């Protein structure tokens, strides 16, 4: 039986919270440390199912990885050409980032690999990475329609590529760049809408020559990665649930410590501020080459907005939480240009629309977004469809509902936010296991 929650109504949120490590950075830290020369340390590693799956996969590929304590990993890098093939499939679990980045990394190895995933990942499009990698000379077989499982053939002769991304996706950009490490000559990725640049920054931190700026990245094959220490900041996407919850529940005053503030991730902050939120950045600093800050968030009444499309890539994972903010704001919020939400862990437009409607919200979905008229929510039973971010967003909605909300299928919250229920309950959420 899958895990369910009983959520809300909540009380004011108070306290100082440390949110778990960034998922995107944790995946990349393990991947690059694995193919670096020497021993790297990863601190603040996300102990989520997604990032643990990536760690397990590198174990299968011959990389020794120790866990001296929670959120710490010591990775004994095997060098660019030191991975060894596995006769078993490599199970990425629920992780789109894991599968898409690994496809790029494994496309230029002298051994074949098979990548698999859970039911949700098995429905997610992989053609977007297969297409550019095939142009680089990779041979990758997929299920019908470019779906997993993927069989990546051995290839010691990848060609570089100058690639303009047809989809706004950091995962596709990263897959091409990681394959480019194994290609002779310049690999270039161009983006009309800049996405998170963690792969570029981390390659530089591991000493690989790379030129990058928003919308452009260029590297050439044939260099080496040098082991380093990566300090992973707190995940803005996980912090987002607390930013929205504290904004919505009267009397709240929360401090979130050392949150990653990469501008390609913090679009929600800008959207919430446009809606009237009271969120202040304190103690700005740097951690592992990323800007971080403490975020103080206090209750504030919100009003609806037209979400600027330019913010969409910078808040792509935060829309479920934004749907909740909009459903409880004064007036109408319009979301457009966000069709990518339909191919996330689940169709997030459909999932949030159905769940919030069943709690009494006034929402109409559109092909690439939604029109949400703010009002009141009541209790009820909703389905997270096995999507971690839908489950946590509905837990926030419940804090302002007039009755209890039962949320089904919450196991996958452990993919990105282990300990969410305990942390949220300690801050004042009405939230317990069903
Ligand atoms: C990620 C990129 C985004 C995001 C995902 C993590 C990454 O996906 O939604 O949670 O780490 O590169 P897309 O590249 O599909 O937009």
pLDDT at 287 over 90: no
Distance CA 52, CA 24 (A): 12
Is 353 a residue whose pLDDT tops 70?
A: yes
User: For atom 16 of ligand 1, which residue has the closest CA?
Assistant: 169
Q: Give me the torsion for CA of 307, 310, 315, 321, rounded to 10°.
A: 10
Strand 216-220 vs strand 210-213: parallel, antiparallel, or unpaired?
antiparallel
Q: Is the pTM of this model over 0.75?
A: yes
Ligand 1 close to Cβ of residue 167 (< 6 A): no
The whole-number pLDDT of residue 164 equals 98
Residue of 21, 167, 260, 316 to mutate, ligand 1, most atoms within 8 A of C-beta: 316
Determine the average pLDDT of the residues in 312-317.
98
* Residue to mutate (ligand 1; options 21, 22, 23, 24; most atoms within 8 A of CB): 24
Other Cβ atoms within 10 Å of 251 Cβ, number: 12
Burial class (CB in 10 A: 0-12, 13-18, 19+), 326: buried
Contact 262 CB / ligand 1 (< 6 Å): no
Helix-, strand-, coil-residue percentages of the chain, each rounded to 5: 35, 30, 40
Q: What is the rounded CA–CA span in Å between residue 179 and residue 159?
A: 9
> For residue 165, is pLDDT > 90?
yes
Question: Which residue lies with its CA nearest to atom 13 of ligand 1?
Answer: 169
According to the model, what pLDDT value does residue 289 have? 82
Task: Provide mean pLDDT across the span 270-287.
Answer: 97
CA of 125 to the centre of ligand 1 (A): 13
As a whole number, the mean pLDDT across the chain is: 97
Q: Measured in angstroms, how far is the CA atom of residue 171 from the centroid of ligand 1?
A: 5
**Residue 144 is encoded by which pair of tokens?**
């019908």
Alpha helices in 181-281 (DSSP H): 198-205, 236-248, 267-274
Q: Whose CA is nearest to atom 9 of ligand 1?
A: 317
Positive or negative: CA dihedral 220, 221, 226, 229: positive
Number of residues in the chain: 434
CA distances to 17, 112, 191 from 146, rounded to whole Å, are 41, 18, 22
Q: Using a 6 Å cutoff on CB, does residue 174 contact ligand 1?
A: yes
Q: What is the pLDDT of residue 288?
A: 77
Beta bridge partners of 366: 369
Spacing, Cα 260 to ligand 1 middle (Å):
15
For ligand 1, say whether the CB of 415 is within 6 Å of any of its atoms. Answer: no
Nearest CA to ligand 1 atom 5: 97
Q: Is the CB of 237 under 6 A from ligand 1?
A: no
Using one digit for the tens of pLDDT, what is the confidence trace for 28-45? 999 999 999 999 999 999
24 CB under 6 A from ligand 1? yes
Rounded CA-CA distance 303/157 in Å is: 55
Mean pLDDT calculated for residue range 182-207: 97
- The percentage of residues in the chain with a pLDDT greater than 70, rounded to a whole number, is 100
Q: Is the CB of 191 under 6 A from ligand 1?
A: no
Question: How confident is the model at residue 1, as a pLDDT?
Answer: 65
Pocket test for ligand 1, best of 24, 27, 97, 238 (most atoms within 8 A of CB): 97
Cα separation of 339 and 360, whole Å?
24
Query: Does the pLDDT at position 387 exceed 90?
Result: yes
136-159 pLDDT per residue, tens: 999 999 999 999 999 999 999 999
As a whole number of angstroms, the distance between CA 68 and CA 18 comes to 20
Ligand 1 centroid from CA 23, angstroms: 10
Q: Collapsing DSSP states into helix, strand and coil, what is residue 222?
A: coil
Answer whether 48's CB lies under 8 Å from 245's CB.
no
179 vs 74: CA distance, rounded Å? 24
Which pair of tokens denotes residue 416? 């990105």
Distance, CA of 431 to CA of 31 (rounded, Å): 35
Position 199 pLDDT exceeds 90:
yes
- pLDDT higher at 422 or 10: 422
Instruction: Retrieve residue 49's tokens.
Output: 């199912």
Pairwise pLDDT comparison (141 vs 288), residue with the higher score: 141
**Does 55 sit in the ligand 1 pocket, CB within 6 Å?**
no
Q: What mean pLDDT is predicted for residues 240-253?
A: 98
Active site residue 317: yes
Q: What is the residue-wise DSSP string for 329-381?
A: SBSEEEE-S-GGGGGSSS-HHHHHHHHHHHTT-EEEEETTEEEEE---B--EE
Checking if the pLDDT of 431 tops 90, the result is yes
Q: What is the mean pLDDT of residues 408-421?
A: 96
For the chain, the straight-line distance linking the first and the last C-alpha, in angstroms and rounded, comes to 12
**Section 367-376 average pLDDT:** 98
Give the C-alpha separation, 237 to 243, whole Å: 10
Whether 169 lines ligand 1, by a CB cut-off of 6 Å, is yes
Tell me which residue has tokens 């509905």: 394
Q: How far is the CA of 133 from the centre of ligand 1 (A)?
A: 18
Q: The tokens of 231 are what?
A: 């300090």
118, 235, 317, 409: the active-site residue: 317
């Amino acid at each position: 039986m899958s895990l369910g929650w009983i959520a809300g109504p909540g009380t004011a949120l108070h306290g100082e919270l440390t949110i778990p490590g960034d998922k995107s950075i944790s995946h990349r830290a393990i991947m690059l440390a694995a193919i670096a020369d020497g021993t790297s340390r990863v601190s603040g590693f996300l102990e989520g199912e997604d990032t643990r799956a990536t760690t397990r996969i590198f174990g299968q590929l011959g990389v020794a990885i120790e866990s001296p304590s929670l959120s710490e990993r010591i990775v004994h890098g095997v060098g660019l050409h030191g991975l060894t093939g596995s006769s078993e499939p490599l199970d990425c679990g629920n992780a789109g980032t894991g599968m898409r980045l690994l496809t790029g990394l494994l496309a230029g190895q002298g051994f074949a690999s098979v990548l698999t995933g859970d039911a949700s990942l098995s429905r997610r499009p992989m053609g977007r990475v297969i297409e550019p990698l095939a142009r680089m000379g990779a041979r990758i077989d997929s299920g019908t329609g470019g779906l997993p499982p993927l069989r990546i053939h051995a290839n010691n002769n990848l060609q570089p590529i100058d690639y303009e991304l047809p989809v706004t996706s950091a995962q596709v950009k990263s897959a091409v760049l990681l394959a480019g490490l194994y290609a002779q000559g310049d690999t270039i990725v161009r983006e009309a809408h800049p996405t998170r640049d963690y792969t570029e920054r981390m390659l530089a931190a591991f000493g690989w020559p790379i030129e990058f700026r928003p919308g452009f990245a260029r590297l050439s094959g044939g260099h080496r990665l040098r082991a380093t220490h990566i300090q992973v900041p707190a995940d803005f996407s996980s912090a987002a649930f607390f930013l929205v919850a504290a904004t919505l529940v009267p009397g709240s005053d929360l401090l979130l410590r050392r949150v990653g503030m990469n501008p390609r991730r913090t679009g929600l902050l800008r959207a919430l501020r446009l809606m009237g939120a009271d969120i202040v950045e304190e103690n700005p600093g740097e951690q592992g080459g990323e800007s971080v800050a403490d975020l103080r968030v206090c209750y504030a009444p919100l009003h609806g907005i037209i979400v600027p499309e330019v913010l969409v890539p910078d808040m792509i994972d935060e829309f479920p939480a934004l749907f909740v903010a909009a459903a409880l704001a004064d007036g109408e919020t319009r979301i457009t240009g966000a069709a990518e939400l339909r191919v996330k862990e689940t169709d997030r437009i459909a999932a949030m629309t159905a769940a919030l409607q069943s709690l009494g919200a006034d929402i109409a979905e559109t092909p690439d977004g939604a029109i949400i008229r703010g009002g009141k929510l009541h209790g009820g039973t909703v389905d997270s469809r096995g999507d971690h971010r839908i489950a946590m967003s509905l837990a926030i909605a419940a804090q302002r509902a007039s009755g209890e909300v039962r949320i089904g299928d919450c196991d996958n919250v452990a993919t990105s936010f282990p300990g969410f229920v305990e942390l949220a309950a300690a801050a004042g959420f009405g939230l317990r296991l069903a």
